[in-house]
Structure 1
Amino acid sequence: MNVPPRHVAIAGAGIAGLTAALCFAERGFRVSVLERAEKLEEVGAGLQLSPNATVILKRLGLLEDATRVAVRPVSIELRRADSLRTLAAVPLGETALRRWGAPYLTIHRADLHDILARAVRAHPAITLETGVTVGSAKLSDAGNVLSATRAGVEDEIACDLAVGADGVRSALRAAGPLARPARFSGYVAWRAIATPQLCAGLIPTDRVSAFLNPRFHLVAYPLRGGQIVNLVVIGRMPAPTESGAGGERRMLPPGIIAGAADDIDALAANVDGWLPWPIAEVDGEASWIDPAGLALIGDAAHAMGPYAAQGAVMAIEDAATLAATVAARPDDLAGALARYQAVRRERVRQVAKRGAFNRFVWHASGPVALGRDIVLALRRGRSLAADLDWLYAYDAETA
């Protein structure tokens, strides 16, 4: 009989890693979180947290904190980018609470990260270390260890289970039998923050707005109680040479929003610069686990495009499922990891298919776009919400 795993070492202190730490600690595990950065901080801008994520925050006792700094949008509104005509609206707000049992929130990534980090630091079963670079995992019958570097000094950290929550460029994925490269998807997300005043007349600050166009789509939604508006333009183009949080803000490339209404053109030109983020993907069909004691979660396992607004949500679901599965099979780690992968792989496949469908429909042109508009005009909000029951009512801990 295997010795039940009691010490979990997690590489990465992003949203996936911190959520996993809390989920494991709540089930009686001792947890070490190892973060490469010297200072714990999160980059990026807005996130959409659908009810399948906020229900997990509620169980961790963090939903009230999140709600205080978030916005609860009344709907997701689909509009044409050329005429600005509204095509359809999915009701959220109170409808989300009644239908899916938890709220739909828009929140600044840094705010969510801060809430999770404070909870991790306050938990007596969790140790959080920064400035630690995890290189690889050595798995054997004699025990599992993570190779790590602290201030230039090599070290080994013993654990029963290693969790790779270190993102799309995961060192734990790249260094062992789970190795596979991340690939550029061909799409770039250009991110910016605007004031409500700058968006006035175009983007309401009480909902998620998606503007559809064959060349691009623009998603906009309020953050921090409506004090700011998150903007994301996604289109196909070569990857910029400089990108991400360390890149330089710049104007949108010529032509990326060609065909947009004048109001969108004006907004794009007047915000304080855009940051390009090449959208990377990871083959989610390859293995996420080593039965001896290694599991990947979040982008490290299955980075996908943002077309269903489920990237961070899938990481939160992964964390909850992995902890619940390992805790449910204390004497069978290999079986628990296999079960985690089977359950999560099918779920991620479904979400990825929905994202691919959204991208196709949102970027449609010609007769396909005309057909889309006609079909959406015939759909009522309740019907559109029902289409999302499989996604938003999902319970990752009991699946």
Structure 2
Amino acid sequence: MSDCAVAVAGAGIAGLTAALSFAAKGFSVTVIEKAAHLDEIGAGLQLSPNATRVLDRLGVLDRLSGNAVEPRGIVLRDAASLASLACIPLDAAEKRWGAPYLVAHRADLQRVLLERVREKENITLETGVAVRGATFGRTGVTVELDRSPVERRLAAGLLVAADGVWSALRPLANANRSRFTGHIAFRAVMSRRSAGLDHLTQPDTVTAFLAPDFHVVAYPLRGGEEINLVAVTKGGEIRPDWSNDADTAHLARATARAAPALSHLIENTQAWSAWPIHAVEGDGPWTHPGGLALIGDAAHALTPHAAQGAAMAIEDAALLAELAAHASDTETLLGTFERLRRPRIRRVARRGAFNRFVWHAGGPVALARNLALRLRSPERLAADMDWLYGYDVKTER
């Protein structure tokens, strides 16, 4: 299939990674993005070794390193007492898993991906263009584009839908709709100097504060100059958007059982935005045999409890391109892609559900959790992540 053209809908992390992955295999790629300008949006994200090894191969990891931070561990603390429960060591991530564990601002990653995309002669980036639909024929897919008031069509051998959890292209595959999970993520990015976190977390760690029905995660961004805060609580459904105005009164009530120092931080942070956590069950179709593949959140949006949303999108993009370079036809490619990715996504989703249950536990379950964590050595905690962080798409066939 290496001589066919590829259309990618969406210029987020999934779409740009897909474009670079296909371009690296010799495909001609057109990226279509409905936003006229690719503004800096979002907050922090965690990039585990299974993702950074892909980014390294695409030539973007070195460009990101100046703004990213390589934490030395993931620390779990009790939100009420601030007692340390466990630490998953990350300082030897590259030696153990073959690639670093990084935390970075989403906008920084998107920026370096865009820089790389614009350097590639076989990638065309079109902004301010909406994908209105697609029709499938024997020779490929015709993508219907709209740059108001002009409509046109683009012929491709494959359409990659990387347009996120609220995907407009998901219905083309008769895939599952997104559903609101009943949880809201409150997010803020602030200066390290103004955050007042020194007595709550170390500047070179990812720290998760666990409590019944909520958790708070803090980690450094942009060389440690900024701090990313995420608080996940139960809540009613709000407008499906990445950055709604936050109901800080709800956040304060939901985290009322936190230690005074943590409560003070939450209440005095001014930059909170709210994101309704939607998920897409991964058991529905992700492809149309005529030439459509959903990747990332468009296919199988995960809750953030395993911090693997971006990593799974990056894996999807890299594997799809790897398979396309060797596939004899589109239908075989798409069937193989689903067959290989489904077990992986199911296992990651189970890990996220497990984390949510354990992190939000209370009473006797929380006491049992704390005891189990104290009995596990740092080496054992790191080994528990080998299957996740040590994964390499190049070994899939």
Provide TM-score, normalisation by structure 1: 0.96
Matched, 1:178 2:178: no
Match of 1:304 in 2: 302
Q: Secondary structure at the match of 2:394?
A: coil
Q: What's the CA shift for 1:291?
A: 1.6
Structure 1 distance, partners of 2:332, 2:241, is 40
2:336 equivalent to 1:339: yes
Residue of structure 1 in register with 2:320 after alignment: 322
Work out whether 1:35 is the aligned partner of 2:33.
yes
Which residue of structure 1 aligns with residue 346 of structure 2? 349
CA contact (8 A) 1:243 1:275 kept: no
Tell me the SS of whatever aligns to 1:397: helix
Q: Which amino acid aligns with 2:198?
A: A
Deviation >6 Å, runs of 4+: none
What is the alpha-carbon root mean square deviation over aligned residues? Answer: 1.3
| Counterpart residue identity of residue 11, structure 1 | A
Counterpart for residue 381 of structure 2: 384
Note if 1:8 corresponds to 2:6.
Answer: yes
TM-aligned CA deviation for residue 195 of structure 1: 2.6
Partner of 2:216: 218
Offset at residue 249 of structure 1 (A): 4.7
* 1:97-135 alpha-carbon deviations (Å, 9 max, x no partner): 110010000000000000001100110100000011002
Contact 1:190 1:252 in 2 (8 A): no
Deviation at residue 137 of structure 1 after TM alignment: 1.6
Shift of 1:250: 4.9
State the shift of 1:199 in Å. 1.5
- Separation in 2, partners of 1:256, 1:304: 22
Find the counterpart in structure 2 of residue 200 from structure 1.
Answer: 198
Cα deviation digits, residues 262-314 of structure 1 (max 9, x gap): 00111011112311100001121101011221100000000010000000000
Give the number of equivalent residue pairs. Answer: 393
Give the alignment of 1:236-251 within 5 angstroms: 236-241=234-239, 244-245=242-243, 247-251=244-248
C-alpha distance in structure 2 between counterparts of 1:51 and 1:20, whole Å: 18
1 CA distance for matches of 2:127 and 2:368? 52
Deviations 1:316-373 (A, max 9, x none): 00000000011111x2221111111111111100000000000000001111100000
CA shift, 1:18, in A, is 0.2
Are the structure 2 counterparts of residues 286 and 40 from structure 1 closer, same or farther at C-alpha, using a change threshold of 3 Å?
same
SS at match of 1:328: coil
Structure 2: runs of 5 or more not aligned: none
Q: Name the CA distance, whole Å, in 1 between partners of 2:123 and 2:291.
A: 19
Deviation at 1:152, TM superposition (A): 2.3
CA distance in 1, matches of 2:140, 2:392: 33
Deviation at 1:252, TM superposition (A): 4.6
Specify whether residues 292 and 156 from structure 1 end up closer, same or farther in structure 2 by C-alpha distance, changes over 3 A only: same
Counterpart CA distance in 1 for 2:361 and 2:154 is 51
Residues 16-65 of structure 1: CA deviation (Å, up to 9, x unaligned):
00000000000000000000000123411000000000000111111111
Q: Choose 231-240 or 385-394, whichever is displaced more.
A: 231-240
Is 1:366 the counterpart of 2:363? The answer is yes
Contact map agreement 1:91 1:385 (CA 8 A) in 2: yes
What corresponds to 1:20 in structure 2? Answer: 18
Q: Which amino acid aligns with 1:226?
A: G
Residue in structure 1 matched with residue 163 of structure 2 by the alignment: 166
- Counterpart CA distance in 2 for 1:252 and 1:316 is 36
Instruction: Please name the residue that 1:187 is paired with.
Output: 183
Q: Is the 8 A contact 1:19 1:319 kept in 2?
A: yes
Q: Is the 8 A contact 2:7 2:32 kept in 1?
A: yes
Match of 2:49 in 1: 51
Note the C-alpha offset of 1:387.
0.3
Partner Cα separation in structure 2 for residue 145 and residue 4 of structure 1: 18
Q: What SS does the aligned partner of 2:37 have?
A: coil
8 Å Cα contact 1:193-1:271 kept in structure 2: no
CA gap of 1:214–1:38, structure 2 versus 1, over 3 A, is: same
Residues 192 and 275 in structure 1, CA contact (< 8 A), matched pair in contact too: yes
Cα offset, 1:89, TM superposition: 0.1
User: 2: CA distance between counterparts of 1:243 and 1:292?
Assistant: 31
The amino acid across from 1:8 in the alignment is V
| Cα deviation code 1:211-262 (max 9, x no counterpart) | 00002000110000110100000011112358533x3355251421021000
CA distance in structure 2 between the aligned counterparts of 1:135 and 1:369, rounded to whole angstroms = 49
Alignment identity in percent? 51
Q: What corresponds to 2:72 in structure 1?
A: 74
Gap runs ≥5 in structure 1: none
Q: Is residue 326–residue 336 contact of structure 1 (8 Å, CA) maintained in 2? A: yes
State how far apart, in whole Å, the 2-side matches of 1:72 and 1:92 are: 8
- The 2-side partners of 1:313 and 1:395 are apart by 12
One of 143, 154, 157 as aligned partner of 2:154: 157
In the aligned structure 1, how far is the partner of 2:40 from the partner of 2:10?
12
SS at match of 1:351: helix
Instruction: Check the 8 A contact 1:194/1:272 in 2, yes or no.
Output: no
Residue pair 1:184, 1:280 contacting (<8 A) in 2 also: yes
